[in-house]
Amino acid sequence: MQLIVGLETPTDFPFDHQVILTEKYRMLTEDEWEPTWELMEPLLKKMYDATLSQS
């Protein structure tokens, strides 16, 4: 299970990881798209194949 919390203001609550976005309305920069797709595509395919096999 994963919990993603997004905050717009600083907090004193300790998190184990912090991501600071540098481009408005984007989680990834242009050069991160291809490596991210290569990582995610096989996982998405497995997820969709499993869903379709249950139909």
Query: Residue-wise pLDDT tens for the chain (55 aa)?
Result: 566 777 778 888 888 887 888 888 888 888 999 999 999 999 999 999 998 898 7
Residue 3 burial class via C-beta count within 10 angstroms: exposed 0-12, middle 13-18, buried 19 and up: exposed
What residue type is assigned to position 8 of the chain?
Answer: E
CA-to-CA distance for 42 and 37, rounded, in angstroms?
Answer: 9
pTM comes to 0.54
Give the integer Cα–Cα distance in Å for 45 and 50: 8
Which pLDDT value is given to residue 15?
81
In the prediction, which pLDDT does 1 show?
59
Predicted pLDDT of residue 40:
92
pLDDT of residue 2: 65
What six digits make up the tokens of 35? 């490596």
Task: Report the pLDDT value the prediction gives residue 55, as an integer from 0 to 100.
Answer: 73
